[in-house]
């Protein structure tokens, strides 16, 4: 079984700075972590590998420093890791991100299953998984909370819906996105950390994957962030004086005027 896990590097803080000119996230010098949902995707892939045999690939598109994050993924028992990194990938919206990842998937090749997190904690769109599946032309299912049965040809799983759960069957190769209920990720061990330190992270440019420049990065992004801002919440306060009866009368008058 060859499983590819899409792993995004996200800021490990809520105080993300935006570039005022390009309106893109300033990722340099920000402590970065594996997108929390992707740790569940990694763990599930590793569990399948342990059951059926095979290999788990970690795939990311990001800045060169994301290689360290992929090394951490290796310490979580991913076997090989590929980082798509190139100025030409920069400023990608979800469509261009999916295109870049599809080229990475093609480069890895011969996969049975792709697992993504439900969503990224920074971009938060939950679009990349389904969009990647569409770009690759494979089936997908989102919000998977449990894999009930899996073989080389198909899998049966539980999907969380607004009203409860759905049991679905999906033929492989396919893509799923997973929610945190699916498992409890293991911590790295000393042994896996040692392996991670020695593992080479393959870095790949747009040219290396014969990518189309018009479909990658800012050029390939039909949507662009025009403006980012923190909403201003104004709080006005009025002190109401007088007896309890006067205060409640005044308060009622204020509320009625609202
Ligand atoms: C309308 C719009 C315009 C945007 N414009 C810009 C822009 O101009 N510049 C800019 O910098 N950003 C921009 N972004 C943000 C950028 O699109 C996202 O960071 C990126 O596309 C991933 O989307 P997401 O964070 O919502 O991931 P989600 O769709 O929430 O992520 C779901 C899963 O997909 C996988 N995944 C997502 N991204 C990656 C990745 N890079 N590598 C590996 N796996 C991944 C992970 O498994 C993740 O759990 C824009 C976003 C939107 C919605």
pTM value surpassing 0.85? yes
Question: By CB neighbour count within 10 A (0-12 exposed, 13-18 middle, 19+ buried), where does 55 fall?
Answer: middle
Q: Which CATH superfamily groups domain 2-228?
A: HUPs (3.40.50.620)
Residue nearest to atom 45 of ligand 1 (CA): 8
Using the mean position of ligand 1's atoms as its centre, give its distance from the Cα of residue 127 in Å: 8
- pLDDT tens digits, residue range 180-202? 999 999 999 999 999 999 999 99
Q: Which residues lie with the beta carbon below 6 Å from any ligand 1 atom?
A: 6-8, 24-25, 35, 37-38, 41, 60-62, 91-94, 97, 101, 116-117, 119-120, 122-129, 221, 223-225
Q: What share of the chain is helix, strand, coil (3-state, %, to 5)?
A: 35, 25, 40
At 34, give phi and psi (nearest 5°).
-70, 135
| pLDDT at residue number 231 | 78
Residues 111, 74: contact at Cβ < 8 Å? no
Residue 198, H or E segment: helix 190-198
| pLDDT at residue number 15 | 65
Enumerate residue ranges in the chain where pLDDT < 50.
none
Ligand 1 atom closest to 132 (CA): 34
């Amino acid at each position: 079984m060859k499983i590819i896990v899409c792993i995004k590097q996200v800021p490990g803080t809520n105080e993300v700075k935006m570039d005022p000119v390009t309106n893109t996230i300033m990722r340099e010098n920000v402590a970065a972590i594996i997108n929390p949902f992707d740790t569940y995707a990694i763990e599930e892939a590793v569990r399948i590998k342990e059951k059926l045999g095979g290999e788990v690939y970690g795939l990311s598109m990001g800045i060169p420093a994301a290689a360290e994050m992929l090394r951490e993924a290796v310490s979580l028992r991913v076997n090989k890791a590929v980082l798509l990194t190139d100025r030409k990938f920069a400023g990608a919206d979800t469509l261009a991100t999916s295109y870049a990842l599809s080229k990475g998937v093609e480069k890895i090749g011969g996969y049975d299953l792709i697992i993504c997190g439900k969503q990224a904690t920074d971009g938060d769109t939950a679009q990349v998984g389904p969009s990647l599946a569409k770009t690759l032309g494979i089936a997908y299912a989102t919000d998977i909370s449990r894999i009930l049965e899996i073989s080389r040809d198909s899998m049966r799983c539980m999907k969380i819906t607004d009203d409860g759960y759905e049991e679905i069957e999906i033929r492989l190769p396919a893509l799923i996105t997973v929610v945190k209920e699916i498992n409890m990720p293991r911590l790295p061990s000393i042994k896996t950390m040692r392996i991670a330190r020695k593992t080479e992270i393959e870095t790949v440019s747009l040219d290396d994957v014969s990518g189309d420049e018009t479909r990658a990065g800012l050029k390939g992004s039909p949507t662009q962030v025009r403006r980012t801002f923190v909403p201003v919440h104004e709080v006005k306060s009025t002190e109401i004086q007088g007896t309890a009866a006067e205060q409640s009368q005044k308060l009622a008058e204020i509320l009625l005027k609202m």
